[in-house]
Amino acid sequence: MAELSGRVALITGGSRGIGRAVAISLAEAGAAVAVNFRENAADADAVVDLIRKAGRRATAVRADVSNGTEVTAMVAAVERELGPIDMLVNNAGIGLIRSIEELTEEVFDETIAVNLKSAFLCTQAIVAGMRARKWGRIVNISSGAARGAGGIGPHYNASKAGLEGLTRGYAARLVKDGITVNAVAPSLIETDMVRSGLASSPARIPLGRFGTPEECAQIVLMLMGNAYMTGQTVALSGGMSFI
């Protein structure tokens, strides 16, 4: 991971869960880390403090990443504080559990905006710099729901399937610029989303337990350090599904 030392990483939704674990792992690999949050300022500051105590540079930056104006301001703030962004992890997401009968246009639109549009906005905001420097790593956090039934609802399935399509579309067009774009598709990771009612027990996971945010972070770190792998989705499901 020597190639990651001194690089600058932006993690959206980086204050808790998978995003937090990714931020810490990238800092341990030597990167300076920007932790994006929308509401959880205290949690984001705690991640930043942890990274700084380990001797790495870090900053917390508030932005609603489904809003283009806020994304532009966020990227500018990160680059002023840490320097040009070399690595982007599109992790911000919501999982509003709805049945078909309960699903509304408002919930559908919000889910697509936060889970899918945000990745487009953040990628567009940083990709010109990556192309100019001929180096970049983008990892999108998808879900097993992109290719399976899932437990949240069809709006969530659609947002994550779209994210994997976005991944392949950018990968094909950026590969000659030294930029890789990949996705990680975790299922039933022990995060707030799972604890809030998505799954009360890991009984249906063949491995017999929930995954951990740190296990997701290991895959992200692998993708960041691999210059030959692009356009791929790595499944992380404890044996529930195989891509």
Q: How many CA atoms lie within 13 A of 88 on its CB side?
A: 32
- In whole angstroms, what separates CA 57 from the centre of its chain? 20
CA-wise closest residue to 35 among 18, 233, 66, 101: 18
Give the type of residue at 192: D
CA-wise closest residue to 47 among 71, 75, 76, 26: 26
CA distances to 13, 15, 70, 140, 213 from 43, rounded to whole Å, are 11, 5, 20, 22, 15
* Torsion-angle region of 155 (φ positive above 0: left; ψ -120 to 50: alpha; else: beta): alpha
Please state the φ and ψ torsions of residue 14, each to the nearest 5 degrees.
-95, 10
Q: Is 156 noted as a catalytic residue in this protein? A: yes
Q: Which of 120, 156, 170, 210 is catalytic?
A: 156
Neighbours of 41 (CB within 10 A): 12
Active site residues: 156
